[in-house]
Amino acid sequence: MTSSARPRILITGADGQLGWELQRTFAPLGEIVALDRNGLDLTSADAIRERCSEIAPALILNAAAYTAVDKAESEQEVAMSINGIAPGILAEEANRFDVPLIHYSTDYVFDGKATQPYRESDATAPQSVYGRTKLAGEVAVAATAKRHLILRTSWLYGNRRQNFFLTMLRLAKERDELRVVADQIGSPTWVHSVSRHSSRCVSIEGNRLELTIPPGIYHLTAAGSTSWHGFASAILASVPVEERRATRVVPLTTAEYPTPARRPEFSVLSVEKIEHALTVTIDDWQQQLAQCFAERNQARL
């Protein structure tokens, strides 16, 4: 096969945390066509169809999303257009080319009232506009795309863009103490881990890309759980004392740190289904945090 005949992998949200990682992880599987918002604006159904016609993808990875959880409360229409409607159109396009679609979703589709990790079969009940629009996207993909994976992840962070991890590193240099909510429990997940496990869900067969696991919803987060306070404490403990000003993390309640969007109190997702399907053991959040710091040190960030 010549390099020009390599199957094309369309990645949306090219400049996002996950979209950026997926470009590197999926490169061995095909020719990456990664589009940022300028290359493909997901609020335009016509643009989605046109780009897909030009690219003729062998696989679509939808890593783009409206992720501003609080802002979404006052921008419901645009959030629904990107998170709820666009995934359904990408699903139609995946069918048109008879190719798989991998779509990403969130722990915020749950109400957070559980006391045990949520399973894929558990009832959804989003508490925010963001969660509702992401659930609408899941429903559209599941109803439309013949070959699809919906990978729900949570509390994503890495060494690029904006995320809680980078915010804590910055504030640790600027402030004497960090003040962080301690009554929301979830699984901080390193974006590279999501990307790496996503690539295990696809194999190359001739010039086609096929899913290696049955279609459906899977939870793909780090294993284990903690609070935002626990996560911040672990981040702080990993920074040498001479490189930071902050010495402690003060626990707050959600009531003390009000935000426009309601967040689930407990949004830990069970990763057993994907571990079983891929025959892997997913690293826990502490291991993933250590790997993220190692990447940071290696790249001297």
Ligand X SMILES: NC(=O)c1ccc[n+]([C@@H]2O[C@H](COP(=O)([O-])OP(=O)(O)OC[C@H]3O[C@@H](n4cnc5c(N)ncnc54)[C@H](OP(=O)(O)O)[C@@H]3O)[C@@H](O)[C@H]2O)c1
Instruction: Please list the active-site residues.
Output: 130
Nearest 10 degrees: Cα torsion 126, 134, 223, 203? 150
Instruction: Verify binding: residue 190, ligand X, rule CB under 6 A.
Output: no
Q: Which residue of 161, 196, 200, 208 would you call a contact of ligand X, by CB under 6 A? A: 161
The three-class DSSP label of residue 250 is strand
CB of 86 to ligand X, least distance (A): 7
Choose one: 93-101, 153-161, 267-275, 280-288; the region binding ligand X (CB under 6 A): 153-161
Backbone torsion region of residue 13, taken as left when φ is above 0, otherwise alpha when ψ lies between -120 and 50, otherwise beta: left
For ligand X, the closer CB: 66 or 244: 66
What token pair was written down for 196?
């790496």
Choose one: 10-18, 112-120, 139-147, 226-234; the region binding ligand X (CB under 6 A): 10-18
Instruction: Verify binding: residue 15, ligand X, rule CB under 6 A.
Output: yes
Q: What is the DSSP code string of 98-136?
A: T--EEEEEEGGGS-S--SSPBPTTSPP---SHHHHHHHH
Instruction: Verify binding: residue 264, ligand X, rule CB under 6 A.
Output: no
- Amino acid in position 290: A
CB of 187 to ligand X, least distance (A): 10
Q: Which residue of 7, 8, 9, 66 would you call a contact of ligand X, by CB under 6 A? A: 66
CB of 173 to ligand X, least distance (A): 22
Length of the chain: 301
Q: Cα(82)–Cα(44) distance, rounded to whole angstroms?
A: 9
What token pair was written down for 5?
């005949």
Give the contact letters, 68-107, x = binds to ligand X (CB under 6 A), - = no.
Answer: --------------x---------------------x-xx
Instruction: Verify binding: residue 154, ligand X, rule CB under 6 A.
Output: yes
For ligand X, the closer CB: 18 or 171: 18
- Give the C-alpha distances (Å, rounded to integers) separating 113 from 116, 127, 184, 265, 270: 9, 11, 11, 7, 15
Q: What is the DSSP code string of 157-204?
A: E-SSSS-HHHHHHHHHHH-SEEEEE-S-EE--EEHHHHHHHHHTTEEE
For ligand X, the closer CB: 154 or 244: 154
What token pair was written down for 169?
């590193």
Instruction: Verify binding: residue 291, ligand X, rule CB under 6 A.
Output: no
Choose one: 2-10, 16-24, 253-261, 292-300; the region binding ligand X (CB under 6 A): 16-24
Q: Cα(296)–Cα(300) distance, rounded to whole angstroms?
A: 6
CB of 205 to ligand X, least distance (A): 27
Q: Which residue of 64, 201, 209, 236 would you call a contact of ligand X, by CB under 6 A? A: 64
Instruction: Verify binding: residue 218, ligand X, rule CB under 6 A.
Output: no
Q: Count residues near ligand X (CB under 6 A).
A: 28
Q: Cα(194)–Cα(10) distance, rounded to whole angstroms?
A: 17
Binding region for ligand X (CB under 6 A): 12-13, 15-19, 36-37, 40-43, 63-67, 82, 104, 106-107, 134, 153-156, 161
